[in-house]
Amino acid sequence: MSMVLMRVLKYIPNKCYGFLLNSTGEQVFFPLAVFDHGPFPRTGLHCAGCSTGTCVWTKTAPPPVLGEEVEVEMPVEIESDPSKAPRALKVRRLTFPMNLLGVVECFDVLRGYGYIRGENGTVYHLHRSEVLDDAVPHPAQQVMFYAGVRQSRPRACHVKVCP
């Protein structure tokens, strides 16, 4: 077995699997079952109008966040079929992703994307696939999310729309 550092390239929540990117640009497949979320710090992050206990995503550690660095255990022998991505045996979170409050700046329902301004002043891209509970975000609405990175740009991941 070999351990290597990689980054989360893609995660498909409704399918419970994703892909990692290794240092040579090759994609590596991983099912959520092999992902070690690590210890979950209770930060007390909540929005006005809801308590930490009622926010579903604050009760457990988040799934993989785009762009986060992880330690990956790979098999010694790589899959011989070149049409299949290599498969990770174990994926371990190294640091807990940053969670933030933010405000939706805009969201195009037809196109399925928009932007959130985080409490840190950074503007994050928002895609409908990252919004939890089938909620539809609206401008000026408060949200909670994990700060991720996709294609070297800030990306809001696992977004909880506040009531």
Domain count, the chain: 2
CATH number assigned to the domain comprising residue 113: 2.40.50.140
For every residue of 100-116, DSSP letters joined together read EEEEEEEEETTTTEEEE
Q: Region 136-161: what's the mean pLDDT?
A: 92
Q: Give percent helix, percent strand, percent coil of the chain, each to the nearest 5.
A: 10, 45, 45
Q: What is the pTM of this model?
A: 0.82
Domain shared by 25 and 83, yes or no = yes
pLDDT tens digits for range 62-115: 889 999 999 999 987 665 666 777 899 999 999 888 888 999 999 999 999 999
Range of the domain at 42: 2-93
**Which range is least confidently modeled, 8-12, 16-20, 130-134?**
130-134
Domain shared by 103 and 88, yes or no = no
pLDDT tens digits for range 25-64: 999 999 999 999 887 665 555 555 555 455 555 566 788 9
Rounded to an integer, what distance in angstroms lies between the CA atom of residue 46 and that of residue 58?
Answer: 8
Q: What are phi and psi of 81, to 5 degrees?
A: -85, 110
| Tokens describing residue 7 | 């980054």
In this predicted structure, what is the pLDDT of residue 38?
A: 80
Domain shared by 112 and 83, yes or no = no
Domain shared by 58 and 110, yes or no = no
